[in-house]
Structure 1
């Protein structure tokens, strides 16, 4: 096993992920590192986050930052004064921003009043991603969301009034009691908003969630596999007809409005990861932070709040490059692979590439490998072909 060295490994990350773990409530499907806001030590957490920022940039100074993404949880549950403090610390420790920086923040409808949005805008946020999930109130209550469709429209109007126009919404399909027609209605109402970006995910029943408990008791009325496939096909055709490019398996955008931060992940590039439970990747090292709010706060008093940190071998990095890169519709290029690893793509992954080409799940054109239209439907099978390949050789 060899560790990668060279230019890419020594460049400072150009992307920052920051985790705000607080939520108004816990949704029934959610296994993210999030905690109900009531009685939480929010300012202590934000001060601990500042401490982690200080230690992080001391050890690995930032260059020009091209994207910042604040996720959670629901970052917009912060009060305006808490939000102002938080955004000021971000600017303090990551001061050198690209002129066209993408600064995204996740939000839930109903948590973005005009005062808070004004603070966000003043603090540099220029892109907001709303967790809408569906446009049927009965589906929303059935998955544990506390907003309704009126909140969606009000929140989007508030954001635009604050001068925030780079907006995205998340939708979900495969929800309990959801029909193909219901998804079609949600897509229609979403597209009527004319937003630059949409993310649309299928429900995954994760362990340690209420839905997992119900699923094991056979009490979760999920759509059939046939209906879920029909939902995804409807989604792709509707987005394409409306002029949105499917630039990644679950993401659609108007030309030039793709999520720059998420593309950092899909291109297997370095990024800072800050906050409770956050993951980071820099200098061929991955880390995972301590998850709980109070344990995270305590950990920052003694240094970086690491739960685990480990080197990524060149073999693992090459596999990651394929698995995440093929999620993007443009796929992966031999040139990018060679630039990152100093190897020919076909020399390393010739066998699985040929297998997937023969199966019609990959396409190859001019040094570029990408999922075929059929391959999009079987993406996980394709990605799995690149897992563990190099340890078998």
Structure 2
């Protein structure tokens, strides 16, 4: 498998601090107050140093800083953090995409300037909705005024490549409210929009409410109607739906996320971060202080395991079919040295017959119906035995 020889060209770095915990969030994040932020950045540097000694980086094409909320770092902390990133990943492509997640209301001009001077050239704002009542109901601390101010600030310091995340299927959300959010989002004329359906995850406040039948979610028909509306509105506005939940103006697709969807290798750094290098996946220790302590003695690994060829092939199909261009026979053959139909002939035939997939000149992609039933499609490729 090519993965066992491929040096990552992508870097993911996790900043686990947040101003508060949103009601739907199961990410590895912790409320900022009282946290040892500089100790964490020192620990992150130790992990970076050991990681690049073990797997020396070649040219880096994408860097993504996620969380948590990376923009809770103070301007001087942000400057220090970004300097360390440049130190350990200095060989950066001239076309480097350097993204950072941000929450509206945590990005004043001074901080944005530190981000820009530190190499960040793409910002992804976690907006979720343009309805203030909905924002309050899902535990967000910002309002729509904060969104407009944050984007204006970012533009004023020179950021041109920005994305916002929106959500549908939220408690008390209607199709009309979703349409109004799309009006306001599209009026910003950004390069990229990510729009995700709510998933009620375990160990969240929403899960507790759901278990008690106290979470007023839209019904399935309303949720489908919202998704159809989203696809229609974004396409009409000139955005390409290049992945199930992602829409971009031509040339502004998220290259970092595409690394995941193309099943490419990547460095994963920070508390709870996942990485994929030389055919092995790893997960780091999650807690802030346990992570800091672990880096004093070595890599802060929680677990590491080798991906079998069969698992890697299944991953290729499940993540690759999220892309609307679909999967290509040539890519499959290049990665595994095998023919796509020889391995997955049965599920491909079944899904074609059900009109959830359709053939392309180079392989297969989701049909319009398949877009609405993605998880059903992906499930057909799990734990299959090669023919």
TM range, smaller chain: over 0.9
Structure 1 residue 245: Cα displacement: 0.5
- 1:358 alignment partner in structure 2: 353
DSSP 3-state at the match of 2:385: helix
- 1:193 alignment partner in structure 2: 188
Structure 1 residue 12: Cα displacement: 1.2
- 2:288 alignment partner in structure 1: 293
Q: Given the alignment of the two structures, is residue 226 of structure 1 paired with residue 216 of structure 2, yes or no?
A: no
Q: Given the alignment of the two structures, is residue 385 of structure 1 paired with residue 380 of structure 2, yes or no?
A: yes
Aligned equivalent of 2:27, options 32, 36, 43: 32
**TM-score if structure 1 supplies the norm length?**
0.98
- 2:41 alignment partner in structure 1: 46
User: Whole-Å Cα distance in 1 between the matches of residues 377 and 7 of structure 2?
Assistant: 31
User: Whole-Å Cα distance in 2 between the matches of residues 84 and 34 of structure 1?
Assistant: 21
DSSP 3-state at the match of 2:338: coil
Q: Given the alignment of the two structures, is residue 327 of structure 1 paired with residue 322 of structure 2, yes or no?
A: yes
DSSP 3-state at the match of 1:318: helix
User: Whole-Å Cα distance in 1 between the matches of residues 385 and 37 of structure 2?
Assistant: 45
Point out the more displaced range, 294-303 or 365-374: 365-374
DSSP 3-state at the match of 1:389: coil
User: Whole-Å Cα distance in 2 between the matches of residues 311 and 339 of structure 1?
Assistant: 20
- 2:8 alignment partner in structure 1: 13
Equivalent runs, 1:140-219 vs 2, <5 Å: 140-219=135-214
User: Whole-Å Cα distance in 2 between the matches of residues 257 and 9 of structure 1?
Assistant: 30
User: Whole-Å Cα distance in 1 between the matches of residues 252 and 280 of structure 2?
Assistant: 30
> Where has structure 1 moved over 2 Å in runs of 4 or more?
none
- 2:303 alignment partner in structure 1: 308
DSSP 3-state at the match of 2:195: strand
Structure 1 residue 9: Cα displacement: 2.5
Q: Given the alignment of the two structures, is residue 283 of structure 1 paired with residue 295 of structure 2, yes or no?
A: no
Aligned equivalent of 1:248, options 235, 243, 248: 243
Structure 1 residue 368: Cα displacement: 1.7
User: Whole-Å Cα distance in 2 between the matches of residues 378 and 285 of structure 1?
Assistant: 30
- 2:260 alignment partner in structure 1: 265
Aligned equivalent of 1:60, options 45, 55, 58: 55
Q: Given the alignment of the two structures, is residue 336 of structure 1 paired with residue 331 of structure 2, yes or no?
A: yes
DSSP 3-state at the match of 2:251: coil
DSSP 3-state at the match of 1:277: coil
Point out the more displaced range, 359-368 or 77-86: 359-368
Structure 1 residue 367: Cα displacement: 2.8
Q: Given the alignment of the two structures, is residue 69 of structure 1 paired with residue 86 of structure 2, yes or no?
A: no
- 1:115 alignment partner in structure 2: 110
Backbone CA RMSD of aligned residues: 0.8
User: Whole-Å Cα distance in 2 between the matches of residues 346 and 91 of structure 1?
Assistant: 43
Point out the more displaced range, 366-375 or 73-82: 366-375
**TM-score if structure 2 supplies the norm length?**
0.99
The alignment of Structure 1 onto Structure 2 pairs a total of residues equal to: 387
Question: Which consecutive unaligned segments of at least 5 residues does structure 2 have?
Answer: none
Structure 1 residue 288: Cα displacement: 0.1
User: Whole-Å Cα distance in 2 between the matches of residues 77 and 390 of structure 1?
Assistant: 46
Equivalent runs, 1:115-134 vs 2, <5 Å: 115-134=110-129
Q: Deviations over 1:117-158 (max 9, x none)?
A: 000000000000000000010000000001000000000000
Question: Which consecutive unaligned segments of at least 5 residues does structure 1 have?
Answer: none
Q: Deviations over 1:238-277 (max 9, x none)?
A: 0110010000000000011000000000000000000000
Q: Deviations over 1:143-190 (max 9, x none)?
A: 000100000000000000110110000000000000000000001110
User: Whole-Å Cα distance in 2 between the matches of residues 251 and 366 of structure 1?
Assistant: 23
User: Whole-Å Cα distance in 1 between the matches of residues 141 and 184 of structure 2?
Assistant: 19
